[in-house]
Structure 1
Amino acid sequence: MTTASMLRSLAVPTALAATLLLAAGCGKSAPTHFYSLSPTPAPQQAQPTPAGPCLSLGIGPVDFPAYLDRSQIVTRSGANRMQLAEFDQWIETPRENFQRILTENLAGLVCAKPLVTYPWPTGGHPDRQVVIQVARFDGVLGQDAVLRASWSVLDADGKNLAWRSNEYKQAAAGPDYDSLAAAQSRLVEQFAKDVADSLRQ
């Protein structure tokens, strides 16, 4: 056997071994974990109907910044550096998740019949509408979650009855994404209380 033939015969099993190692490595990719915001826990005892006039209420539109329009959880690692968690993702879009949990929290804070989300059901328009613009909703793992938002309360004719803006911070209980999502849930709870106050006024 010539030297060239011997080299070719050795190259085949070497290439095969490399291919098998690569395939084995691909099969061990990390599993993706999915998260959701959670509403305020229901009280153990029945609560009285929230005070204030009972009007139909609509939540939305809710505007989110483009950097959050993705399934990956976004965190900060510096003043100008952002991180996308490839294997830690939201189970639904952040905007829809935020709007849904905010609506659930408001249901226990204000008297609203019905309480609907934008776009409204066909043929109706709520007596009061809350339009929300979120400027920031992220955080640093193991540190603070931050929500910065503005909102307007409109009547059925579109007249602006109130406008507010605020920033909220909540410390995460641990260094993982589960703790960050829990902290962000508490931010939505705080925000819902302020929205409810503006509706009562």
Structure 2
Amino acid sequence: MVEESEMRNQRSLIHLVVLLVLSVVCLSACAGKSASSTFYVLSSLPQPTLNAAEGTTIGVFPVAMPEYLDRPQIVTRVSENEIRLDEFSRWAEPLKESFTRALVQNLSSLLNTAKIIKTTGGTGIPVALQVGAEVVQFDGILGGDVILIVKWGLFEAEDKKLISAKRSYFKEPTGAATYEAFVAAQSRAVAALSREIAEAIKARR
């Protein structure tokens, strides 16, 4: 009887040790598979080969962003007054940099000229026209719509005379409840803004 009891105790102890080892292995595996971040940038329109020697040089100021968007996490909207920041879906660079570059590249494509440059308004390459833009809203709902509201202006570079100014509103459906689809819709909204600004520049020419 004593021997049987000892054997049962030994088997129970072995089972306990096995369970503890398996638990440690599982915890280590879970820790090793922690979620990693995905990084995104805004895309631009297709870029053809352009002639840098022709056309008017146009400077685009860095786009101004509201503080709620000036962060690495992608911002989505839950309701009119609530936003969500996703720690694992992030911008690969500051959003204002990605937005400005996409705008410059889009205008180059739409106006068929390489003489669209980012400018700060100081000394450097002389420009004839300047474009300034301030984003008011640039967010949306996953699986819903992306909203872009932006105030922009076109100026004579020499005397800062205002040629055109507008507060524009764009809505783009995401088509899917993913961040990839969300950023693609944001890129289309920037392209729509670029077309509007390009038309104002063409009218000035």
Bucket of the pairwise TM-score, normalised by the shorter protein: 0.7 to 0.9
Higher-Rg structure is 2
Distance 1:79 1:123 in 2: 43
- Scaled by the length of structure 2, the TM-score of the pair is 0.78
Q: 1:177 to 1:113 in 2, by over 3 A?
A: closer
Higher helix share: 2
Q: Is the 8 A contact 2:61 2:121 kept in 1?
A: no
Q: Tell me whether 1:195 sits opposite 2:193 in the alignment.
A: no
The CA deviation at 1:74 is 0.2
Residue identity over aligned pairs, in percent, reads: 35
Q: 3-state SS of the aligned residue for 1:79?
A: coil
Q: What is the identity, as a one-letter code, of the residue corresponding to 1:39?
A: S
Gaps of 5+ in 1: 1-12
Count of paired positions: 183
Q: Tell me whether 1:32 sits opposite 2:33 in the alignment.
A: no
Higher strand share: 1
Q: Is the 8 A contact 2:145 2:171 kept in 1?
A: yes
Distance 2:114 2:45 in 1: 20
Q: What is the identity, as a one-letter code, of the residue corresponding to 2:167?
A: S
Q: Is the 8 A contact 1:62 1:95 kept in 2?
A: yes
Partner of 1:166: 168
Partner of 1:144: 145
Q: Is the 8 A contact 1:60 1:117 kept in 2?
A: yes
Q: Tell me whether 1:133 sits opposite 2:138 in the alignment.
A: no
Distance 1:167 1:153 in 2: 17
Q: 1:124 to 1:83 in 2, by over 3 A?
A: same
Distance 1:97 1:30 in 2: 25
- Scaled by the length of structure 1, the TM-score of the pair is 0.80
| CA RMSD across the alignment | 2.8
